[in-house]
């Protein structure tokens, strides 16, 4: 089995990013540490790609921003634009360059990232998502490349920098808001389970039912693909049931808009027939009809914190991995009604 950068880091007693920077002769690494790393490389027979290393040393102030894989949905979701605004705002102030990486498939995005790393064009990455079994996260981790997640780490949690909302608490708060309006038949609309933010929000939704002694009806939960061009027939059937939910918690404002459309098709009114609480407090929430009550997760601040952490770790390679939780708040609008 080939020797990896993590093997060298373990033997030298440093972080993988320190090994990477030693290969590039980065001035932020002391000569003493560089010598320790070089001895470990020699002992293990590790041979870095010096061509890529030399290129990267000239461009190490470039940060790749990785969007979730999607055909179209990502590009119309203002949530991601707000995060990018926060990242670029901080990077500009520190004279770092950012570049956007996107793909319609995981393989396409991964190949782009591999090419950028191989050619020394990008030295670190911020992923605007966190999901289970993500090949991009695995690649970056195994290669010892500096990266941060927006979202809770699923794998390598103790070794991963991430910035997140407490999505379990946020899901619980959204559900309790509806419970306090006397709704006891509450549904949840979220994304596929591999997306950790949606899974956590659903867990918080379930937790609120448990803590308020309200039976949880699993038939009231619907999951959709991350690029929902149309809502599943399962949701339409749920809305047509005589015992349908009187309210929904939905994983983001984009799904809130889609739910409004489904309600109209079923002859239902928001909030008279269905109350809705969504997430992100994006422009979608403000411009929908009626405007959506939404959990504001401070998207711009998430971006600022992610950029802060990636630059701190780039300039101080031996810092321990940090986990930052950004607070949320509920913004009340016209999509909820007391029973």
Q: Taking a C-beta distance cutoff of 8 angstroms, is the pair 135, 105 a contact? A: no
Separation CA 240–CA 267 (nearest Å): 9
Look at residue 44 in the predicted model and tell me its pLDDT: 81
Tell me the average pLDDT across 1-18. 79
Q: How far is CA 301 from the centre of its chain?
A: 13
pLDDT band at 252; cut points 50, 70, 90: very high
CATH architecture of 167-297: 3-Layer(aba) Sandwich (3.40)
Instruction: Please give the pLDDT value at position 273.
Output: 96
The CATH 3.40.50.2300 portion of the chain extends over 167-297
Task: Give the per-residue pLDDT at 231.
Answer: 66
Reported confidence tier of residue 35, pLDDT bands at 50, 70, 90: confident
Q: Tell the residue number behind the tokens 């690649």, with chain if given.
A: 139
Separation of alpha carbons 225 and 78, rounded Å:
18
Give the architecture-level CATH label for domain 1-58.
Orthogonal Bundle (1.10)
Mean per-residue pLDDT of the chain: 88
**Residue 64, beta-bridge partner list:** 99, 125
Cis peptide, bond prior to residue 90, ω within 30 of zero: no
Higher pLDDT pick, 335 / 258: 335
Q: What are phi and psi of 122, to 5 degrees?
A: -135, 140
Residues 158, 201: Cα–Cα separation, whole Å: 22
Quick: pLDDT tens for 40-66.
Answer: 888 888 877 544 444 444 446 899 999
* From-to residues of CATH 1.10.260.40 in the chain: 1-58
């Amino acid at each position: 089995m080939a020797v990896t950068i993590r093997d060298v880091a373990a033997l030298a007693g440093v972080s993988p990013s320190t090994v990477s920077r030693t290969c590039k002769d980065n001035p932020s690494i002391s000569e003493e540490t560089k010598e320790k790393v070089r001895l470990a490389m020699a002992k293990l027979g590790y041979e870095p790609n010096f061509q890529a290393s030399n290129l990267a040393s000239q461009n190490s102030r470039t940060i790749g921003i990785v969007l979730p894989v999607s055909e179209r949905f990502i590009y119309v979701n203002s949530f991601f634009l707000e995060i990018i605004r926060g990242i670029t705002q901080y990077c500009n102030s520190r004279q770092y360059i950012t570049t956007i990486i996107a793909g319609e498939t995981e393989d396409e995005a991964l190949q782009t990232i591999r090419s950028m790393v191989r050619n020394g064009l990008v030295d670190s990455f911020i992923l605007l998502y966190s999901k289970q079994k993500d090949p991009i996260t695995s690649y970056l981790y195994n290669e010892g490349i500096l990266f941060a997640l927006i979202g809770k780490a699923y794998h390598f949690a103790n070794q991963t920098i991430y910035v997140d909302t407490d999505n379990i608490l946020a899901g619980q708060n959204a559900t309790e808001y509806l419970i306090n309006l006397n709704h006891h038949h509450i549904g949840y609309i979220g994304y596929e389970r591999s997306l950790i933010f949606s899974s956590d929000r659903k867990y918080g939704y379930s937790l609120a039912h448990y803590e308020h002694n309200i039976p949880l009806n699993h038939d009231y939960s619907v999951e959709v693909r991350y690029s929902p061009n149309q809502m599943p027939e399962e949701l339409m059937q749920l809305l047509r049931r005589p015992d349908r939910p009187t309210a929904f918690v939905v994983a983001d404002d984009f799904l809130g808009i889609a739910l409004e459309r489904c309600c109209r098709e079923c002859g239902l009114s928001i909030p008279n027939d269905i109350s809705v609480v969504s997430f992100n407090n994006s422009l979608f929430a403000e411009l929908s009809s009626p405007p959506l009550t939404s959990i504001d997760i401070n998207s711009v601040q998430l971006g600022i914190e992610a950029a802060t952490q990636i630059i701190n770790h780039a300039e101080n390679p031996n810092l321990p991995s940090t986990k930052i939780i950004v607070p949320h708040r509920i913004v009340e609008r016209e999509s909820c009604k007391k029973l």
